[in-house]
Structures are given as structure tokens and as C-alpha cells.
Structure 1
Amino acid sequence: MNLLLLSFLLLIPILLLLRRKRKPYKRVPPGSLGIPIIGQSLGLLRAMRANTAEKWVQERINKYGPISKLSLFGKPTVLMYGQAANKFIFSSGGNTVANQQTQSIRMILGDRSLLELRGEDHSRVRGALVSFLKPESLKLYVGNMDEEVRRHLEMYWEGKQQVKVLPLMKTLTFNIICSLLFGLERGKQREKFLDSFQKMIEGMWSVPINVPFTRYNRSLRASAKIQNMLKEIVHNKKIVLEQNGASAHQDLISYLLGMVDEDGKQVLTEKEIIHNVMLVMVAGHDTSSVLITFIIRLLANEPAISAAVLQEQEEIAKSKQPGETLTWEDLSKMKYTWRVAMETLRMFPPIFGSFRKAATDIEYDGYLIPKGWQIFWVTGLTHMDKSIFPEPSKFDPSRFENQASVPPYCFIPFGGGARICPGNEFARLETLVAIHYLVTRFSWKLCSDNFFSRDPMPVPTQGLPVQIWPRKLS
């Protein structure tokens, strides 16, 4: 007995020494993972459709603080909020915070899209997309975009007394994408594309249960159809490139196919081209159509802002000859109109939030985010923080007169840092060209209430029906 007691006493200092050397245990953030697979997904989706998603997230923050755990779309997830969290997400390297979307987005858009890649692969693919979407390249396409907008207004707006804005803006942005990014002529092939495309995006935020009649299943099948159509387009464009070479005004697919490295090897694989073209389709179609729709909604409710936008656009219109298209220089004069667009993005961001993945165990704010867990950030929370934007519910384009006055990583409709959306300049062009012709050719008033839901993009009631009548230059 004495021997056992002596042995125990000798062990105590050794145990204390070992304990002192061990790192202190970090616990995962507070919260609950909920029901397996489903977790809090249905609650979030219900809140988005009821237009209470920001409130739903804010209640979690009030209960658990700026970092908490939950389960979304089949994965354990950490919700992070605030300027510091945004900076951490957008500025951390791929070895810490990796690109990875929910299973539903990954399976629908593909595993070689920019949303999934990291490290050298991410830099290579992003570099290829940015080289096509940078301002110097897009200058060549302003005239084409102008022609698409004017053709759209002649077909769908002129001679009408009432239109539904959101469906028409989706048609417009889809046609711009088909023309500028795919070089796809109008006709049955475009129509087939549009039908499958709309079905595909419906299930991008959904619980990944692949059984018949679910949104997820319908989206997967539509995605497979689109990929097959894109494979055919890529194959045909390869043949044209081999026969005729590259042209100065080529579309995105031809441009990516023609990119080769120093050894003459193609920079992107066919799979990477297809998956990233699908990503650009979604980004260029949905975000721009929603932004233009909400600007139209806003201008109907804000007469003073509407008058200021009209004055700026009429001055540009008066400087043009009949039939003359807008130029890059014209777009650079639309400063007030773009501030209106920025304030619209602040109050009604098309992207509610997005996901990353912990590439390793992460210590953040005193908590452990385990390797492999999702990280979820929500765009609109810092946008509506009164400590960052005074009177956040007031629409005030003057907030963006001096963009340097907006604190970094607080206004994030296009992401931030090195991970800012490469298509943001393309979205600016689409928006400014469309708004120019809309405000100089038409007046309008709303036909329904101002309610909208998220699915996952903001969707106004009944697609935002408006009464329209022609306007003449004053």
C-alpha cells in the first residue's frame, strides 16, 4: 500500500508537467448541428422565401455571438459575422480557408469551377477568366452589348402597356451571355439552353437528397443536359479555331480554347472550360438581372433619385447620333447611375451569402473550426450595420461618392480581396447599358407591392409587374 502511494505521489509532478506542455483545448463554436443531413437548412430556406433570412441569421448572432455552429445542406458549418470575419475569409490563403461550395452547388456547377479550386489551379483558371473579363478586353464588347439591349427593348417593351421586369431582365442577360460569352446565335439552340438553365439554377441551394421529383434531382438532370450542350459547342469551336485561327472579337469559349502556355499546351482542360462557363452563366445571368430589376423598382419609389439618373443619362443620349451605340467613354460618365447601383447592391445584394471550407483546423476568436467544416458568410449583415453605414435603411447613393471612405471588407456584394468576383466589371457594363436605354426610352410605375422573397436570389412579387409608357428626350 505504501509502495502504491509513493508511486502515485511521484507521478503527480510528471502529470502536471505534461499537462502544462499540452496546448489548451479549444472548443468548437456554440450552437447546434440539428437533425443529421437536414440540420438548419430548411429553416434557413423558409426564412429566405419569407424574406426574413437576415433576421433569422441575426437571431443566431444575438443568441450565440458572431461565430456559431450549425448544419447546412448536409455539412457541419460555422457562421461567421463582421468585418474581421469577412477579412479572414477573403484574405486567408487556400491552405487555411479553401474554396468549396455546398454539395448541391458543387454537383450542379462541377468540381473544376473557380468556386472549388485552390492553389495553383485556382490562380491558373482565375487568370484565364480575368484576362477575358478585364476592362481592356471588355471595351471591345460595349457595342455588342448595346445592340443586344436595344433589340431586347424593341422585342419585349416597345408598344406594351405592362411588363414583368424580372423575367424580361433574365431574358436580356441570358441573351447577352449567349452572344458575348458563347457566340451562340439566336434560335432553337438558345431556347433549349434557357429552359435547361432555368431548371438548373432552381436547385443550387437545396438539401442534397437525390431522389425523383426533388429540386436537387431536377437541377442535376438539367445540369447534365447543359454540360452535354456545352461539350458540343466546345467541340465545334475547336474545329473553327483549327481552321480559321483566333479573331479579335471572339467569345469566351473560343478565347479559353485558344489560350496556350509556353510549351503550346492548352491552359485549361475541356472540363475546366465547361464548368467555368457554367459558373459565368449563373453569375452573369442571375446577379445582373436581379440588380437591374431592383434598380427599376427603386427608381419607381424614389422620384428625386430617378430624376438625377435620368438627367445624367439624357446628357449622354443627346451627345449620340441616331443609331450610334454607347462607348466605353460614355459608360465612364455614368458615375451617379453606378452609385445608385452600388447602393442597390448594399441594400439588396443578389448573393445572400456563400461558403468556404476549413482546409485545416482553424483557431479563430478563441474557438476551433475543425478541418473539413463549412464556413458560411452572409453578405447583407455588414451592409446593414448602422455602425458602418449610418441610417442603413435609408437609400443614399452619396455613400459611394468616395469609395475609400467605406471600410474595407464591409461592402462585399462581389466578395473581397484576392477573391473578388472576376465578372464584376462585366456586370457593371450590363447594368449601365440596360439602365441607360430603359430610363431614356420609358417611364414606369409599380403595379404590385414591394414584397420580395429569396430563392436564393431576391425575387419581387409576381416578377415586378410595371405599367410603362414611352418617354421622349427632354
Structure 2
Amino acid sequence: MNILLAVFLFLIPFLLVLRRSRRIRTSKRTPPGSLGVPIIGQSLGLLRAMRANSAEKWLEARVRKYGPISKLSLFGKPTVFIHGQAANKFVFTSDDNTIANQQTQSIKMIMGERSLLELSGHDHKRVRDALVSFLKPESLKRYVEKMDEEVRKHLELQWEGKQQVKVLPLMKTLTFNIICSVLFGLERGKERDQFLTCFQEMIEGMWSVPINLPFTRYNRSLRASARIQSMLKDLLQKKRMELEKNAASPRQNLMTSLLGKLNEDDTQVMTEKEIIHNIKLVMVAGHDTSAVLITFIVRHLANDPSIYASVLQEQEEIAKNKLPGQTLTWEDLAKMKNTWRVAMETLRMVPPIFGGFRKALKDIEYEGYLIPKGWQIFWVTAMTHMDTNIFPEPSKFDPMRFENQASIPPYCFIPFGGGPRICPGYEFARIETLVAIHYLVTRFAWKLSADNGFSRDPMPVPTDGLPAQIWPRKLP
């Protein structure tokens, strides 16, 4: 008995330590906040705030109430909202065993489950490498002339002889035409016009509550996505036959490039479904983001004469060294340093991409809280872009912030994401933006007819499409 008592007394401290450690492990709790009503959660509140251009304030109110990490429910899934430089680094650098790239259910269903937004690990690397081989600067150099031709044709048809335009709809038409020409060689005509109509319907419901009823935006977008997919499949078949007959080369456009990517055993690197889903992704990325960026540059140039004068001076220096009808070159784009700084500052203040989602693949401890396996992780671009500790006087438009980009802390300026998942279309967007701004400022002057701010749906949309009065400039 004395021996048993001694053993028991000896084990008590260990039992207490074990109990305490269990209590510590099980006391890890999910972040503060509420998941709200099932399926809907806080989705409608966020969407309303985005359309009122108050989404950042909506999130800041959450931060004041719950702190830097909180839980909510968005687009049908439990979600943890995190923000700041450390949060951005965590999102963009965590390995594929910890978190995976995952969008909302609406984006997944509209874009497709085999798009780069949904893939991880080896599949992500395989598909990304295939896209990057076409979208890298060395490859895109040969398409500057084609983009130049599309911009000049667009201005000739849509701007010349006009006294007033709505900038955003025209920029969306321009970027869509560039995509059709460069990415899959679809020339102007009825087929391209049908693509545009379906495409515009498809992207309307990408951020929406995933309730598939006939009267919802989500339903309309799903049906438009199915039509786009069918059209791309037919076009893919034509390109495959052209390649087989040597009537096209793998370098001709993105579609032929992806079809021409073969493994050592002559099988295609990407499946047909992957090619279609990722062409839809590149279409969305190259269409909306660039159109929004160009539109907001036009808006700012109209409101800031000194910035406008500096951009005009740089572009006129390039224009005066060109012969009539001569297109811009890769070397010309390299000289547009000030114009691209203006674009970067525009991206800082009005990032086209509001934020994004990741999925926790296992229970994660973050900032002392538990992010349960399967939950969404929600990050927001503008939270660091407008942080006074990172960008002094963040509401002031100052392109010189980007004169020395090395001075900007990493994972703080993230309009194109960061780390291994940075947007592969970054260079494509840079080229079409610089070419468009070059011809806009050298051929036209403008003033805004009205500037009543903008909303998000989910990208920034100026009120009434940014109407502007325009008149021709004399070429140097």
C-alpha cells in the first residue's frame, strides 16, 4: 500500500502537467467573430460595402471590433480574415501542404476546377510553367506590334471624330480585342463579337452568393461560362487541325503554344479541359484588370495636370523618333519608366483585385488562434497599400514612391500577388497598358464630364463608365 501511495504521489506532478498541456492544446480557439446565417453569412454585407466603395472601411470596422484576425462566413464557407505584411507573406509563401489556392465557389464553378486558381503542388507548377513560357517577356516581345495595331485600330474606330466617350466600356472592348488577337488569333468579326457578349455575362457573377436559381447573376454567369467553354472547344479543335497540317506554329498565339507543349512521350503537357479553363482565366485577368488600370490612369491624368504633363512629355519624346505608321518596339516600352511609375501608383491606390482566398489544408495555428482544416483564408490587397506605416500619406498620389522599388518592404505592394504565385500575366498587362497610354496621350486630350467616384463589382467601376470630353492632339 505504501509503495502504491508513493507511486501515486510520484505520478501526480506528471498527471497535472499532462492535463494542463491537454487543456492548452484544446483551448486553442478559432478567431473572434461570427459565422452569421448559413450559406449567406456576411457575403451580402461585404458585397454591399464593395458596391458602395466602403469595403476597406467595412473591414477596418471588423479589425477595430475583433482585432487583426477574425472569422466570418463568405460565399458559403467559414472564413478567416487576416491582413498586414506578415499575413500577405504567410498567404503567398506557405507550402502546398499548409494552404492551397482556392477561390470562392462561384469563381470555381464559373472559371473551372482545373484553372491555375484551383491547382496546387505539381499540377500548379506544370500548368503555370506552360502559361509562363508564353507570357514571359522574351516571348511577349514579338507581340508588341500586334498590340500596337489593335490599339491604333481601336482609337480609329471608337475615338476619332468623337466629342465624348465613356472610358471604361471602351477600354474593356480594347483589352478584349487584344486578348482575342494575341491569345488565340481570333480576328475581328461576328465570332469575336459573340465571344464578347458571352464573356461580359460570364464575369458579372464571379463574386456572388452561389445560389443557382434562374433569376440570379450566378446562374446567368454559369450559363455564359458554358457557352464560352463550348466556343473555346471549337476554336481549340481548329487550332489543333492547323498545327497538324503545319498551317500554324506553336508560337502563333497562346492557344497554339499550349497545344504544342508536349511531354517526352509526345503526350500534351496540359489536358484539353486545363487549356480551356486556363484560357478563360487569362481572358479574365487580361481583360478586366488592364481595362480598369488604363481607365483609372486616364481618370487621374485628367485630375492632375502635373502628372499628365510628365507622362505626355515622356511619350512625346518617344513619338517624335517614330516614322509615320511605325509601331512601338520593346525598346520604346523600356523608356516609359515614368509612365509605368504612374501605373504602379494607380495600382496601389485602386488595385483592380480586391483580394483573394486560400484554403487551409490542415489545422493551422496563426497569431495564437486556430484556422481549422477546410476553412477559407481571406486576404485583401488595399490593407497594406493604404497603411501609413508602409506608404506615408497613402491618400496622396505620388508615383515617385516607385522610383526605387527596393525601398518598398516585401509583401506590402501586392496588386499582382506575390511569391511563387505572383500573376504570370504581369508583363502582358504592362505591355498593353503602356501601348494604350502612349497613343491616348499623344493623340488625344480630355477632361472628365463627371467624376462621381467608383464602386466595386468586384473590380473598381467608375460611375457611369467615366464619361469624358475628348479632342484630338496634333502629332509631334
Partner residue of 1:378 out of 380, 402, 406: 380
Summarize deviations over 1:263-294 as a string: whole Å, max 9, x none: 21100000000000000000000000000000
Summarize deviations over 1:306-337 as a string: whole Å, max 9, x none: 00000000000000000000000000000000
The corresponding residue for 1:303 is: 305
Structure 2 matches for 1:255-334, cutoff 5 A? 255-334=257-336
CA, structure 1 residues 293+387, in 2 after alignment: closer, same or farther (shift >3 Å)? same
CA, structure 1 residues 248+109, in 2 after alignment: closer, same or farther (shift >3 Å)? closer
Residue type matched to 1:99 in 2?
Answer: N
1:160 aligns with 2:162: yes
Q: CA deviation at 1:114?
A: 0.3
Structure 2 matches for 1:442-457, cutoff 5 A? 442-457=444-459
Q: Determine if contact 1:313/1:436 at 8 Å carries over to the other structure.
A: yes
Q: Distance in 1 between matches of 2:464 and 2:78?
A: 35
The corresponding residue for 2:99 is: 97
* TM-score w.r.t. length of structure 1: 0.97
Gaps of 5+ in 1: none
> Which sits farther off after the overlay, 38-47 or 18-27?
18-27
CA, structure 1 residues 178+17, in 2 after alignment: closer, same or farther (shift >3 Å)? same
Q: Determine if contact 1:173/1:284 at 8 Å carries over to the other structure.
A: yes
> Which sits farther off after the overlay, 350-359 or 23-32?
23-32
1:86 aligns with 2:88: yes
The corresponding residue for 2:361 is: 359
Partner residue of 1:208 out of 186, 207, 210: 210
* TM-score w.r.t. length of structure 2: 0.96
Q: Distance in 1 between matches of 2:237 and 2:62?
A: 49
Gaps of 5+ in 2: none
The corresponding residue for 2:342 is: 340
Q: CA deviation at 1:94?
A: 1.2
The corresponding residue for 1:171 is: 173
| DSSP 3-state at the match of 1:266 | coil
| DSSP 3-state at the match of 1:244 | coil
The corresponding residue for 2:464 is: 462
The corresponding residue for 1:131 is: 133
Q: Distance in 2 between matches of 1:15 and 1:41?
A: 46
Residue type matched to 1:75 in 2?
Answer: K
The corresponding residue for 1:423 is: 425
Q: Determine if contact 1:140/1:249 at 8 Å carries over to the other structure.
A: no
Q: Distance in 2 between matches of 1:418 and 1:10?
A: 53
Q: Distance in 1 between matches of 2:60 and 2:340?
A: 29
1:401 aligns with 2:427: no
Report the aligned-residue RMSD: 1.6
Q: CA deviation at 1:147?
A: 0.1
| DSSP 3-state at the match of 2:365 | strand
Residue type matched to 2:370 in 1?
Answer: L
Partner residue of 1:31 out of 30, 33, 39: 33
The corresponding residue for 2:19 is: 19
Q: Distance in 2 between matches of 1:11 and 1:337?
A: 73
The corresponding residue for 1:146 is: 148
Instruction: List 4+ stretches of structure 1 deviating above 4 A.
Output: 5-15
Q: Determine if contact 1:246/1:258 at 8 Å carries over to the other structure.
A: no
Q: CA deviation at 1:13?
A: 5.6
Q: CA deviation at 1:63?
A: 1.1
Between the two proteins, the alignment pairs up a number of residues equal to 470
> Which sits farther off after the overlay, 336-345 or 229-238?
229-238
Partner residue of 1:50 out of 30, 49, 52: 52
- Identity, in percent, stands at 78
